[in-house]
A and B are shown apart, each in its own frame.
Chain A
């Protein structure tokens, strides 16, 4: 569905600008099947990596919304582009897709390091002796073109990133091992190797422990920055080339059956989904409206609340589909609301009422202070959904308490009886004359 939308959908809408950086012009043809799909979706600009006129950011503004760097061997970018430029580009909200390869150059390596991704040395390749491409390996014996069974490898992320399940296998070629720094909390693997893989110089004896083996090796990694800019790091460029992407089946030697076997190659599907995700065309949401008011129909006050009032909160969530913001569907996962003052006093799920409308009702806690409505949802593959609104919860006014309470009746009675008693007493004292002694005298 997303694929369809991506390819055909918004051909007429104002298209986002995309920069594609290549190593040489021949690559346009070599990667045409991928690039043509991008051409259909974006307003693409092609530049060579060593072009002296290469710019991403001008006067502090991004020139492009997306940048695809298909120049793995770059030692140094042309123009004014350095690692810092990429940082600025992503800080400004630009999306980045970076492709590496076993001939990875310093510029790409530094770019990875800047975002917490580490590559193995130039010349090393990820190899597998299990599912390597039998046909190719007869020509070039390095086991670096192999297939990964989707069920063995980690096809990480959620549906917005890799689309619906149904991957058979991926044909990997000439990949450089990629490791995600453990302290990097924003990066996550999308495709990981299976446990048969390792990374070393092809056809050389292994003299020390490789930088990464097995499932440590990531082949595709995603990062979503806190400003929702997305970055995809791929460790192999050539697996997306026309030649390999069009190879529908991978032949390999099946050890169990002792014969050649074939898997379907799903790289094409993966590419399309990852490109859609990486250019913020999938799993992109926003809160377009947020309202809160008293549940009380007559009183629609919403600038502050008193304690223990019932209030209603409505949030509208939109999804970016086909270059348009559209209300999210009912399939949107649950959205949560916090009512927060140092700690969350209330944390409840919204009810999805369709049409992108989410509604929650709750009773304001019995504590006054300055509260915040907070929606803060991080879900793999989704944009961070964040909304914060301050509201004051006041204590009751002096005249909002009950005027007469049953338990106070004894007190009312005692005070009134006291008043009566004092009146009678003073009456008695003032008007009673002690006549008896006088009478006696008389």
Chain B
């Protein structure tokens, strides 16, 4: 890191020298390798394992693809998921990730490096983060200069905001999508600068890769049209813009429609209508501009803007009208929730139930980006001051990323690259100011005449050496701090596989808690092949990936009513839940319980979301208010409500927990909620405990079959029992009609009843 910044400062100075490009190459390579290696903490600390939830599905899908062929993968119908509905994987997945990993695997094996697909999957994200650094360099270089590019590349390589999604083992769409994002933006800037169809089509290809890799491609297809629209508003229309956007839009959308999951969305949904509208507007603008060039300037000038406004209005009205008529699908809830933050909470609880969909806390800006948010505004200011058609893009990019990153934690990811770029620009400008040597100043001026203005040089000349040195040293210190911070955050916060947990013992050694895999392995080896496991959807991918068993719901939350059904079963009392489970064909129920260990991400803490989601679909059966105590608190101690006490989730979580002493004074002390549980003597009627892992994190229950027996008499006998006897083995029986006598029929009296 420190190597990168020192050198990038001098790069601007050593222009026109082969050394400069060699140095750039070396720095870029170094940065890429650094990016790769700093993501390997998880592998070194734990093992080469797929992390978290979604990556498990991606891995499973990739495995399916490399063990069969691409067409079988495209037509793969996954019967283990969403029982009994099933899932067409090929049509509901962004296949770019699987194809990328599968491709790497194929090439490696073709070259004779025999690797398992799991290792390829584990290392895909780190490899691509190296490429992202390079793409970021080119984008920044295109927008500012090579020095800023090197800064930006170095930043993005180790910025925790991006590492959080791309550590080794985090085999997720985002890992490769950020590369595609940066690359498409770079190609777009190149295309609109040069006005070449070639670069336009290259942009489209990169966009296609992005579409195939991540649903966030919508970001590109809205940001680029917005850029074009802004340029039109600013009167910066030129034929280069027309050529590049038109080729990009047509070719890009045609290719996007070839991804089965995307299908006809580019012409049918509101998310894509901005790009279509800008496309149409550009045609009108181009046509009118052509007319203007043919007609006289003056007589047409006034009418021109009027026409353009009318065209824009007409296009807008057409899009709105088509949406009203139902031809164009309105914004999906997920998209809508980005603009109305309260929307998801009310209408789609399933979206807001995900922790990564929560609004971002301010601290995470510091955690994820360290000092970059502080210097990025400076970079933005420089960009705006020296704006041109291309730099406006950076401004728009920055503005929107900031907004989205504020809405959702998850979208910190899109903010990170732009903040790195702006930070790079800011540092580059500053270092140019204070680090540039006197004799090189004039050369620098020539090299970057577009970026520099006369007042800058005046100030620069006036700066004494002492101040220069102070500033440079302070900034270098800050950069070193940045490197330390990034490494620290990466190693401590973002490198946990979350499938395997670790805690430190009092003596400082690490204690590996492997309950998840223990439970999944138990399921894999001890249950029927077609056993159906009911759990909350978070664990669906892991169960199918690790236990290879059928799940009802999983992390691909496409069917809200099915999830609500599971939520309802978890929130109902045991009898009602049993009925639902019978209907759904459930064999086992799996719950996550952290009370023994103090693991806070357990099902009791997620339970209110289950209730809310269930209430959304079954408002007559489930009421959120019933799960709160009389004081209106969500609690599991003695004051909890009756509904809470009887619900399946409570029973399954705390079954037999009352017998465990986790506290000096009392038994059944929940170490997550820090209370003594209110109901200790839990009896299960329709379920039985099948397996509980070492630290009780995963508890599995078997659903019993309906009783063979007919029902016991529901009321008391007419005749009261005379005596209660305890059964003893080998004792003699008693007959009311005989006097107790020695064995043998001869001595027995005749039965008293008549024949």
CA distance A76 to B732 in the complex (A): 8
Q: Is B721 on the interface with A (CB-CB < 8 A)?
A: yes
Query: Closest Cβ of chain B: how far from A208's Cβ, in Å?
Result: 12
State whether A392 and B733 are in contact (beta carbons under 8 Å apart), knowing that A183-B714, A368-B77 are contacts in the complex: no
CA distance A399 to B72 in the complex (A): 11
Task: Count A/B pairs, Cβ under 8 Å.
Answer: 182
Contact of B711 with A185 in the complex, beta carbons under 8 Å = yes
Q: Is A370 on the interface with B (CB-CB < 8 A)?
A: yes
CA distance A185 to B755 in the complex (A): 34
- Chain A residues touching B, range: 35 or more
Contact of A394 with B77 in the complex, beta carbons under 8 Å = yes
Q: Which residues of B contact A184 (CB under 8 A)?
A: 710-711, 713
Partner of B732 from A50, A122, A368 at Cβ < 8 Å: A50
Q: Is A238 on the interface with B (CB-CB < 8 A)?
A: yes
Q: Which residues of A contact B751 (CB under 8 A)?
A: 23-24, 26-27, 73
Partner of A75 from B530, B584, B736 at Cβ < 8 Å: B736
Query: Closest Cβ of chain A: how far from B197's Cβ, in Å?
Result: 12
Q: Is B302 on the interface with A (CB-CB < 8 A)?
A: no
Q: Is B235 on the interface with A (CB-CB < 8 A)?
A: no
State whether A82 and B727 are in contact (beta carbons under 8 Å apart), knowing that A140-B754, A238-B754, A243-B755 are contacts in the complex: yes
Contact of A370 with B84 in the complex, beta carbons under 8 Å = yes
Query: Closest Cβ of chain B: how far from A376's Cβ, in Å?
Result: 13
Q: Is A49 on the interface with B (CB-CB < 8 A)?
A: yes
Q: Is B752 on the interface with A (CB-CB < 8 A)?
A: yes
CA distance A54 to B743 in the complex (A): 13
CA distance A225 to B708 in the complex (A): 5
State whether A79 and B730 are in contact (beta carbons under 8 Å apart), knowing that A24-B738, A187-B710, A371-B84 are contacts in the complex: yes
CA distance A79 to B754 in the complex (A): 28
Q: Which residues of B contact A78 (CB under 8 A)?
A: 731-733
Q: Is A257 on the interface with B (CB-CB < 8 A)?
A: no
Say what secondary structure dominates the interface of chain A.
loop
Contact of A52 with B732 in the complex, beta carbons under 8 Å = yes
Q: Which residues of B contact A76 (CB under 8 A)?
A: 725, 733-734
State whether A90 and B717 are in contact (beta carbons under 8 Å apart), knowing that A76-B734, A78-B731, A395-B88 are contacts in the complex: no
Query: Closest Cβ of chain B: how far from A281's Cβ, in Å?
Result: 20
Contact of A50 with B733 in the complex, beta carbons under 8 Å = yes
CA distance A224 to B84 in the complex (A): 31
CA distance A409 to B713 in the complex (A): 73
Query: Closest Cβ of chain B: how far from A241's Cβ, in Å?
Result: 5
Q: CB-CB contacts of B704-746 with A at 8 A, as 1s and 0s?
A: 0011111111110111011001011111111111100001010
Contact of A226 with B79 in the complex, beta carbons under 8 Å = no
Q: Which residues A356-405 have CB closer than 8 A to chain B?
A: 368-372, 390, 392, 394-395, 397-399
Q: Is A103 on the interface with B (CB-CB < 8 A)?
A: yes
Contact of B735 with A80 in the complex, beta carbons under 8 Å = no
State whether A114 and B755 are in contact (beta carbons under 8 Å apart), knowing that A71-B735, A105-B736, A398-B71 are contacts in the complex: no
Q: Is A324 on the interface with B (CB-CB < 8 A)?
A: no
Q: Is A341 on the interface with B (CB-CB < 8 A)?
A: yes
Q: B85's closest neighbor in chain A, by CB?
A: A369
Contact of B710 with A223 in the complex, beta carbons under 8 Å = yes
State whether A181 and B713 are in contact (beta carbons under 8 Å apart), knowing that A121-B718, A342-B583 are contacts in the complex: yes
Contact of B84 with A181 in the complex, beta carbons under 8 Å = no
Say what secondary structure dominates the interface of chain B.
loop
Contact of B733 with A23 in the complex, beta carbons under 8 Å = no
Q: Which residues of A contact B709 (CB under 8 A)?
A: 87, 90-91, 115, 225-226
Contact of B754 with A113 in the complex, beta carbons under 8 Å = no
CA distance A80 to B704 in the complex (A): 28
Q: Is A74 on the interface with B (CB-CB < 8 A)?
A: yes
Q: Which residues of B contact A211 (CB under 8 A)?
A: 718
Contact of A79 with B750 in the complex, beta carbons under 8 Å = no
Q: Is B74 on the interface with A (CB-CB < 8 A)?
A: yes
Q: Is A229 on the interface with B (CB-CB < 8 A)?
A: yes
Q: Which residues A86-132 have CB closer than 8 A to chain B?
A: 87, 90-91, 101-103, 105-107, 109-110, 112-122
| Max count, chain A CB within 10 A of own CB: residue among B71, B74, B712, B755 | B755
Q: Which residues of A contact B584 (CB under 8 A)?
A: 342
Q: Is A254 on the interface with B (CB-CB < 8 A)?
A: no
CA distance A48 to B748 in the complex (A): 11
Q: Which residues of B contact A181 (CB under 8 A)?
A: 711, 713-715
Q: Is B86 on the interface with A (CB-CB < 8 A)?
A: yes
Contact of A73 with B754 in the complex, beta carbons under 8 Å = no
Contact of A109 with B86 in the complex, beta carbons under 8 Å = no
Query: Closest Cβ of chain B: how far from A236's Cβ, in Å?
Result: 10
CA distance A211 to B85 in the complex (A): 53
State whether A238 and B755 are in contact (beta carbons under 8 Å apart), knowing that A73-B737, A78-B733 are contacts in the complex: yes
Query: Closest Cβ of chain B: how far from A409's Cβ, in Å?
Result: 20
Q: Is B753 on the interface with A (CB-CB < 8 A)?
A: yes
| Max count, chain A CB within 10 A of own CB: residue among B90, B715, B735 | B735
Q: Is B83 on the interface with A (CB-CB < 8 A)?
A: yes
Query: Closest Cβ of chain A: how far from B247's Cβ, in Å?
Result: 14
Contact of B745 with A26 in the complex, beta carbons under 8 Å = yes
Contact of A392 with B713 in the complex, beta carbons under 8 Å = no
Q: Which residues of B contact A54 (CB under 8 A)?
A: 733
Q: A77's closest neighbor in chain B, by CB?
A: B733
Contact of B83 with A80 in the complex, beta carbons under 8 Å = no
Q: Is A51 on the interface with B (CB-CB < 8 A)?
A: yes
Partner of A74 from B74, B711, B733, B745 at Cβ < 8 Å: B733
Q: A343's closest neighbor in chain B, by CB?
A: B583
Q: Which residues of B contact A135 (CB under 8 A)?
A: none
Contact of A106 with B722 in the complex, beta carbons under 8 Å = yes
Query: Closest Cβ of chain A: how far from B566's Cβ, in Å?
Result: 13
Q: Which residues of A contact B736 (CB under 8 A)?
A: 73-75, 103, 105, 122
Q: Is B443 on the interface with A (CB-CB < 8 A)?
A: no
Q: Is B75 on the interface with A (CB-CB < 8 A)?
A: yes
Q: CB-CB contacts of B203-245 with A at 8 A, as 1s and 0s?
A: 0000000000000000000000000000000000000000000
Contact of B737 with A23 in the complex, beta carbons under 8 Å = yes
Contact of B84 with A225 in the complex, beta carbons under 8 Å = no
Q: Which residues B326-376 have CB closer than 8 A to chain A?
A: none
Residue pairs across A and B with Cβ atoms less than 8 A apart, 21 shown, are: A24-B738, A26-B751, A51-B732, A52-B730, A74-B733, A75-B734, A76-B725, A76-B734, A79-B730, A79-B733, A114-B713, A116-B711, A118-B713, A119-B718, A121-B718, A121-B719, A181-B714, A187-B710, A226-B707, A227-B708, A371-B84
10 A-B pairs with least C-beta separation? A78-B733, A25-B745, A50-B733, A186-B710, A73-B737, A76-B734, A75-B734, A370-B84, A113-B713, A394-B77
What residues make up the interface of A, taking CB atoms closer than 8 Å to B?
23-27, 30, 48-54, 71, 73-82, 84, 87, 90-91, 101-103, 105-107, 109-110, 112-122, 140, 174, 181, 183-187, 211, 223, 225-227, 229, 238, 241, 243-244, 341-342, 368-372, 390, 392, 394-395, 397-399
Given contacts A24-B738, A49-B735, A52-B731, 18 further A-B contacts (CB under 8 A): A24-B750, A27-B751, A48-B745, A50-B734, A51-B732, A73-B738, A74-B736, A76-B725, A103-B753, A118-B713, A118-B717, A140-B754, A174-B754, A181-B714, A184-B711, A390-B530, A392-B79, A392-B86
